[in-house]
C-alpha cells in the first residue's frame, strides 16, 4: 500500500497494464525535485515595454491636461468679448425666465442650451466676465475626455487637445460650440458600456440642443453608436439583437427624437425672418469654391498678423484653397477603414458644408466643425474592437500617419500662434470703449450705435440696460435678427439724434466706420476717440 501511494497507483486491485498506465513518471524518482511549471505573468507584466509606455502615456496625458488648463486660463483671462459673444450674454441677462430665453433665441439660428447656462449665471451678476467660467470648464472637461480615449495614440490625443479649434476658437472665444463638442466626445468616451443606449441618447440630445452644427453631427453620429452598441461583445448574434430593442432602447431613442424636434422647432425662425438669410441661387462654380472650407478647417494657417478669420490660401490665390481642399478630400475619406465610420465622416461633412452654403457662412468658427467631425471619427476608428478594424499594411499606415501628423502640426502651430497674439493684442477694443466712456462720465448718457449691432460688447461691459436703436426707434439691448434688421440702415439724422436725446442731453454716437465729414458737421458732432487694432474686425469711432 505504501508503494502504491508513492507510485500514485490505485489502492484497489487492478490489472498490471492498467497500473503501469497510471504511473506518474515524476514519481519514479521521488528523491528528485519535480520541475516547477512556470505560470504566465499577470496581464500588466506580460509585456513590460507596453506597460512602461502605458504609464508614460498616462503621465503625459495628465501633464498635457494640466498645461492645457493653465494655458487656457491665462489666455481666457486676457480675452475681451466681441459682439457675438455679448449677444448671447445680453439675451440671457435680459430674459425674465427660461421660457423668455426660448422666445428670444428664435432668430439666433441655434438651440438655447448655452443661453440657459448664461441665464443661470446672469441671475447673480451683470458682469460679463463670468461668461468665461462655464466655457472654460467645458473646454477643460472636453480636453480630459479626449485624453481619456485610451485606444487613441497619445500623440494624437495631445495634438487634438492643443489644436487651434480646441485651444482657441471654441475654448477662448465664448460661444455655444465647445459645450456641444463636450457632449459629442462624451458620447464616444463615456458611454462605451451603454447597452441600453440611454446614456448615449442623453449625451447626444444635449449636444443637439447647443448649436445647429452640433445638431447635424449628433444626428449623423447617433445611428452609428446605436448600431455599434446594440449588443455587447458576446451578444452580437442576429437572434439576440432583436431582444435588445426593448422598452429601454425605445425610450432612449424617443429622448433623442424629442430633443431633435425641439431643437428644430426653436431654430426655425418666425415668419418674415427669411429676409435675414443671405443665401441665394448657387452656381456650380460657387460650390466648387466652397471646397476651400476643407483646407481652412484642417490647415487653419493664418494669412496675416491679425489672424482671426484669415487664411493663407486667400493670399496665394482664388483657386489655391479649393485645390487644397479637393486634394485633401479623398485621403481623408480613405483614412477610415471601418465602413460605418467612413459613412459617418462623409455624411456629417457633406451636411455641414451644405448648411454653411445655405446660410452663406464661412468664418473659422463655422468651418471648424469639419475638423470636429474628423476628431470624432478618429476616436471612433481607434475605439473599435480589434476584429472590427481591417488590418492596414505598413504602406497604408505610413501615409495615414503622415496625413494625421501634417494636420495636427498645422493645428497645434496655429493654436500656439493664436494664444501668443491674444496675450499681446486685445481680441476686441470693446472694453476700452466702455472704460473710456466711464472716464469721461459718458457711460450713463444716451448712446446710439450705428449700425445697431456694432456695440453689443460695449453695452455688456457698460452693464447698462439698453441703448437707442435707430432701426427700431426705441431702446433695446440685444439684437433681434428679423426683417427690420435686414433693411439697410441709413446714417443717423438730426431727427434720430433728437429722438435719442434724454433730458436735453445729446447722445454719444458710436459707429463702426467713420462718418462722412459733411454728415458729422450736419449733426454737429466730432470724433473724440477711435479704438481699433484688435484681433477681431471690430473698430469704434466715438462722436460727441
Beta carbons of 87 and 538 less than 8 angstroms apart: no
Together in a domain, 21 and 80? no
Q: Residue 51 domain-assigned?
A: no
Q: Can you tell me whether residue 440 is helix, strand or coil?
A: coil
Together in a domain, 505 and 414? no
Together in a domain, 132 and 214? yes
Q: Residue 2 domain-assigned?
A: yes
Together in a domain, 379 and 482? no
Q: Can you tell me whether residue 507 is helix, strand or coil?
A: coil
Q: End of a domain among 376, 395, 424?
A: 424
Q: End of a domain among 375, 404, 424?
A: 424
Together in a domain, 188 and 295? yes
Residue 65 confidence (pLDDT): 95
Structural domains in the chain (count): 3
Q: Residue 60 domain-assigned?
A: no
- The grid coordinates listed for 465 are 440696460
Residue 20 confidence (pLDDT): 46
- The grid coordinates listed for 247 are 422598452
Q: Residue 371 domain-assigned?
A: yes
Q: Residue 57 domain-assigned?
A: no
Together in a domain, 508 and 479? yes
Q: Residue 480 domain-assigned?
A: yes
DSSP string, 53-109: HHHHHHHHHHHHHHHHHHHHHHHHHH----HHHHHHHHHHHT-SSHHHHHHHGGGTT
Q: Residue 335 domain-assigned?
A: yes
Together in a domain, 300 and 157? yes
Together in a domain, 405 and 482? no
Closest CA to 68 of 151, 157, 139: 139
List per-block mean pLDDT (blocks of 10 residues) for the chain, which spans 544 residues.
Answer: 50 50 48 48 40 70 95 96 94 94 90 96 95 96 94 93 96 95 94 82 95 96 82 47 61 90 86 48 62 90 83 81 89 91 94 87 90 96 58 58 94 95 93 95 92 91 92 88 76 84 89 90 90 90 93
Residue 306 confidence (pLDDT): 78
- Burial of residue 306 (CB within 10 Å: 0-12, 13-18, 19+) is middle
Together in a domain, 181 and 315? yes
Q: End of a domain among 389, 424, 459?
A: 424
The model's pTM? 0.85
**CA 106 – CA 104 distance, rounded (Å):** 6
Together in a domain, 415 and 441? no
Together in a domain, 300 and 416? yes
Residue 55 confidence (pLDDT): 80
Q: Can you tell me whether residue 135 is helix, strand or coil?
A: helix
Residue 138 confidence (pLDDT): 97
Angle at CA 159, nearest 5°, toward 155 and 162? Answer: 140
Q: Residue 48 domain-assigned?
A: no
Q: Is the peptide bond before 451 cis (omega within 30 degrees of 0)?
A: yes
**CA 498 – CA 489 distance, rounded (Å):** 17
Together in a domain, 249 and 328? yes
Domain that holds residue 314: 65-233+242-424
Q: How far is CA 81 from CA 86, 215, 429, in A?
A: 7, 25, 9
Amino acid at each position: 500500500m505504501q508503494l502504491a501511494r508513492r507510485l500514485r497507483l490505485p489502492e484497489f486491485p487492478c490489472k498490471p497494464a492498467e497500473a503501469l498506465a497510471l504511473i506518474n513518471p515524476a514519481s519514479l524518482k521521488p528523491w528528485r525535485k519535480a520541475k516547477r511549471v512556470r505560470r504566465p505573468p499577470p496581464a500588466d507584466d506580460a509585456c513590460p515595454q507596453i506597460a512602461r509606455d502605458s504609464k508614460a502615456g498616462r503621465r503625459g496625458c495628465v501633464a498635457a491636461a494640466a498645461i492645457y488648463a493653465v494655458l487656457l486660463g491665462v489666455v481666457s483671462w486676457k480675452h475681451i468679448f466681441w459682439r457675438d459673444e455679448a449677444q448671447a450674454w445680453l439675451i440671457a441677462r435680459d430674459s425674465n425666465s427660461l421660457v423668455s430665453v426660448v422666445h428670444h433665441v428664435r432668430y439666433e439660428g441655434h438651440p438655447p442650451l448655452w443661453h440657459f447656462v448664461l441665464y443661470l449665471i446672469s441671475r447673480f451678476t451683470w458682469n460679463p466676465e463670468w461668461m468665461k467660467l462655464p466655457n472654460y470648464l467645458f473646454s477643460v472637461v472636453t480636453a480630459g475626455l479626449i485624453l481619456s480615449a485610451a485606444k487613441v495614440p497619445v500623440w494624437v490625443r495631445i495634438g487634438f487637445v492643443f489644436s487651434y479649434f480646441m485651444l482657441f476658437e471654441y475654448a477662448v472665444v465664448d460661444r455655444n460650440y465647445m459645450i456641444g463638442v463636450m457632449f459629442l466626445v462624451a458620447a464616444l468616451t463615456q458611454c462605451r458600456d451603454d447597452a441600453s443606449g440611454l446614456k448615449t441618447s442623453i449625451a447626444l440630445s444635449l449636444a443637439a440642443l447647443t448649436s445647429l452644427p452640433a445638431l447635424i453631427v449628433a444626428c449623423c453620429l447617433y445611428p452609428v453608436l446605436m448600431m455599434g452598441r446594440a449588443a455587447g461583445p458576446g451578444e452580437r448574434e442576429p437572434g439576440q439583437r432583436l431582444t435588445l430593442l426593448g422598452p429601454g432602447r425605445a425610450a432612449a431613442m424617443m429622448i433623442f427624437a424629442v430633443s431633435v424636434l425641439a431643437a428644430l422647432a426653436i431654430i426655425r425662425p418666425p415668419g418674415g425672418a427669411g429676409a435675414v438669410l443671405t443665401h441665394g441661387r448657387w452656381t456650380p462654380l460657387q460650390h466648387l469654391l466652397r471646397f476651400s472650407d476643407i483646407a481652412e478647417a484642417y490647415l487653419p494657417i493664418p494669412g496675416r498678423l491679425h489672424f482671426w478669420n484669415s487664411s493663407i490660401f486667400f493670399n496665394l490665390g482664388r483657386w489655391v484653397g479649393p485645390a487644397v481642399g479637393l486634394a485633401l478630400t479623398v485621403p481623408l475619406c480613405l483614412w477610415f477603414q471601418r465602413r460605418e465610420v467612413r459613412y459617418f465622416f462623409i455624411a456629417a461633412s457633406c451636411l455641414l458644408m451644405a448648411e454653411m452654403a445655405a446660410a452663406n457662412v464661412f468664418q473659422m468658427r463655422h468651418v471648424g466643425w469639419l475638423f470636429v467631425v474628423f476628431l470624432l471619427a478618429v476616436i471612433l476608428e481607434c475605439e473599435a474592437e480589434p476584429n472590427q478594424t481591417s488590418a492596414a499594411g505598413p504602406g497604408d499606415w505610413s501615409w495615414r500617419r503622415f496625413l494625421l501628423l501634417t494636420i495636427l502640426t498645422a493645428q497645434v502651430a496655429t493654436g500656439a500662434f493664436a494664444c501668443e497674439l491674444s496675450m499681446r493684442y486685445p481680441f476686441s477694443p470693446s472694453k476700452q470703449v466702455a472704460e473710456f466712456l466711464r472716464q469721461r462720465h459718458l457711460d450713463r448718457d444716451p448712446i446710439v450705435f450705428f449700425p445697431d449691432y456694432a456695440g453689443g460688447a460695449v453695452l455688456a461691459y457698460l452693464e447698462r440696460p439698453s441703448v437707442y436703436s435707430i432701426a427700431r426707434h426705441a431702446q433695446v439691448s440685444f439684437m433681434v435678427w428679423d426683417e427690420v434688421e435686414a433693411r439697410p440702415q441709413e446714417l443717423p439724422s438730426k431727427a434720430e439724434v433728437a429722438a435719442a436725446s434724454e433730458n436735453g442731453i445729446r447722445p454719444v454716437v458710436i459707429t463702426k466706420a467713420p462718418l462722412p465729414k459733411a454728415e458729422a458737421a450736419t449733426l454737429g458732432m466730432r470724433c473724440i476717440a477711435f479704438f481699433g487694432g484688435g484681433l477681431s474686425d471690430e473698430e469704434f469711432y466715438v462722436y460727441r
